[in-house]
Amino acid sequence: MKIINNATTAILSGFLKQKSFSLQSEGNSMFPILRSGDVVEYSTCSFLTLKINDIVLIKKKGVMIAHRVIYKHPSYVITKGDNNLLHDGNIYPNKVIAKAVQVKRNNKKLSKLKRNLNHSILKH
Protein backbone atom coordinates (compact mmCIF):
# COMPACT_ATOMS: atom_id res chain seq x y z
CA MET A 1 0.00 0.00 0.00
CA LYS A 2 1.75 3.15 -1.19
CA ILE A 3 1.17 5.92 1.30
CA ILE A 4 2.82 9.01 -0.11
CA ASN A 5 5.04 9.92 -3.02
CA ASN A 6 8.42 11.64 -3.21
CA ALA A 7 6.91 15.13 -3.42
CA THR A 8 5.40 14.83 0.05
CA THR A 9 8.19 12.91 1.80
CA ALA A 10 9.39 16.14 3.39
CA ILE A 11 6.02 16.56 5.11
CA LEU A 12 6.50 13.20 6.82
CA SER A 13 9.55 14.46 8.68
CA GLY A 14 7.24 16.73 10.68
CA PHE A 15 4.99 13.79 11.57
CA LEU A 16 7.93 11.75 12.78
CA LYS A 17 8.57 14.20 15.59
CA GLN A 18 5.24 13.08 17.06
CA LYS A 19 4.54 9.71 18.72
CA SER A 20 1.63 9.03 16.36
CA PHE A 21 0.33 10.40 13.08
CA SER A 22 -2.21 9.51 10.40
CA LEU A 23 -1.84 9.21 6.63
CA GLN A 24 -4.31 8.41 3.87
CA SER A 25 -3.46 5.26 1.94
CA GLU A 26 -3.64 4.50 -1.75
CA GLY A 27 -3.18 1.34 -3.76
CA ASN A 28 -4.25 -2.27 -3.27
CA SER A 29 -1.14 -4.14 -2.09
CA MET A 30 -2.66 -4.60 1.39
CA PHE A 31 -6.25 -5.28 0.25
CA PRO A 32 -8.56 -6.23 1.93
CA ILE A 33 -7.19 -5.02 5.28
CA LEU A 34 -6.16 -1.62 3.86
CA ARG A 35 -7.95 0.06 0.97
CA SER A 36 -7.36 3.23 -1.01
CA GLY A 37 -8.77 6.15 0.96
CA ASP A 38 -8.38 4.50 4.37
CA VAL A 39 -6.78 6.74 6.97
CA VAL A 40 -4.12 4.76 8.82
CA GLU A 41 -2.89 5.83 12.24
CA TYR A 42 0.75 5.01 12.86
CA SER A 43 2.78 4.99 16.04
CA THR A 44 6.54 5.35 16.09
CA CYS A 45 8.18 2.28 17.56
CA SER A 46 11.49 0.65 18.30
CA PHE A 47 12.74 -1.85 15.73
CA LEU A 48 13.24 -4.32 18.60
CA THR A 49 9.50 -4.35 19.36
CA LEU A 50 8.41 -5.30 15.83
CA LYS A 51 6.75 -8.69 15.44
CA ILE A 52 5.79 -10.89 12.54
CA ASN A 53 2.37 -9.77 11.19
CA ASP A 54 2.78 -6.14 12.28
CA ILE A 55 1.92 -3.71 9.50
CA VAL A 56 4.71 -1.18 9.24
CA LEU A 57 5.33 2.01 7.33
CA ILE A 58 8.66 1.71 5.55
CA LYS A 59 10.68 3.89 3.23
CA LYS A 60 11.80 2.13 0.06
CA LYS A 61 13.22 3.83 -3.02
CA GLY A 62 11.98 7.21 -1.84
CA VAL A 63 8.39 6.08 -1.30
CA MET A 64 6.55 5.33 1.94
CA ILE A 65 4.86 1.92 1.87
CA ALA A 66 2.71 0.09 4.43
CA HIS A 67 3.33 -3.68 4.32
CA ARG A 68 3.20 -6.62 6.71
CA VAL A 69 6.28 -8.02 8.48
CA ILE A 70 6.60 -11.64 7.33
CA TYR A 71 10.07 -12.40 8.72
CA LYS A 72 12.16 -10.89 11.51
CA HIS A 73 15.92 -11.16 11.90
CA PRO A 74 17.80 -9.29 14.66
CA SER A 75 19.17 -6.83 12.10
CA TYR A 76 16.35 -6.56 9.52
CA VAL A 77 12.76 -7.50 8.69
CA ILE A 78 11.21 -8.71 5.47
CA THR A 79 7.89 -7.14 4.51
CA LYS A 80 5.30 -7.97 1.89
CA GLY A 81 1.98 -6.58 0.75
CA ASP A 82 -0.78 -9.09 1.47
CA ASN A 83 -1.88 -8.80 -2.17
CA ASN A 84 1.65 -8.92 -3.66
CA LEU A 85 3.41 -11.98 -5.02
CA LEU A 86 6.91 -10.84 -4.04
CA HIS A 87 8.33 -9.58 -0.75
CA ASP A 88 10.19 -6.27 -0.35
CA GLY A 89 13.59 -7.76 0.52
CA ASN A 90 15.56 -6.91 3.65
CA ILE A 91 14.26 -3.79 5.40
CA TYR A 92 16.80 -2.41 7.88
CA PRO A 93 15.88 -0.48 11.06
CA ASN A 94 16.63 2.92 9.51
CA LYS A 95 13.95 2.24 6.86
CA VAL A 96 11.17 1.38 9.34
CA ILE A 97 9.20 4.54 10.08
CA ALA A 98 6.28 3.41 12.28
CA LYS A 99 3.75 0.67 13.00
CA ALA A 100 0.05 0.79 12.01
CA VAL A 101 -2.24 0.85 15.05
CA GLN A 102 -5.67 1.88 13.70
CA VAL A 103 -7.53 2.30 10.43
CA LYS A 104 -10.49 4.54 9.65
CA ARG A 105 -12.66 3.75 6.66
CA ASN A 106 -15.47 6.15 5.80
CA ASN A 107 -14.78 8.01 9.07
CA LYS A 108 -15.35 4.84 11.13
CA LYS A 109 -12.68 2.98 13.08
CA LEU A 110 -12.37 -0.62 12.03
CA SER A 111 -12.96 -2.81 15.07
CA LYS A 112 -11.45 -5.91 13.45
CA LEU A 113 -8.21 -4.17 12.56
CA LYS A 114 -6.44 -4.94 15.82
CA ARG A 115 -7.06 -8.66 15.30
CA ASN A 116 -6.08 -8.48 11.62
CA LEU A 117 -2.94 -6.48 12.34
CA ASN A 118 -1.80 -9.14 14.79
CA HIS A 119 -2.85 -12.28 12.93
CA SER A 120 -1.67 -13.23 9.49
CA ILE A 121 -4.12 -13.35 6.63
CA LEU A 122 -1.29 -14.48 4.39
CA LYS A 123 -0.67 -17.98 3.15
CA HIS A 124 3.13 -18.28 3.20
Which structural domain, as residue segments, surrounds residue 86?
2-118
What CATH number corresponds to the domain at position 39?
Answer: 2.10.109.10
Residues 6+ apart with CB under 8 A from 107: none
**Model confidence, pTM:** 0.80
What distances in angstroms separate CA 18 from CA 22, 45, 118, one per listed residue? 11, 11, 23
**Model confidence pLDDT, tens digit, residues 19-49:** 889 999 999 999 999 999 999 999 999 999 9
Decide if 123 is inside a domain. no
Decide if 43 is inside a domain. yes
Decide if 13 is inside a domain. yes
Q: Residues of the chain whose pLDDT is less than 70? A: 1-17, 111-124
| Element containing residue 41 per DSSP (H, E) | strand 39-43
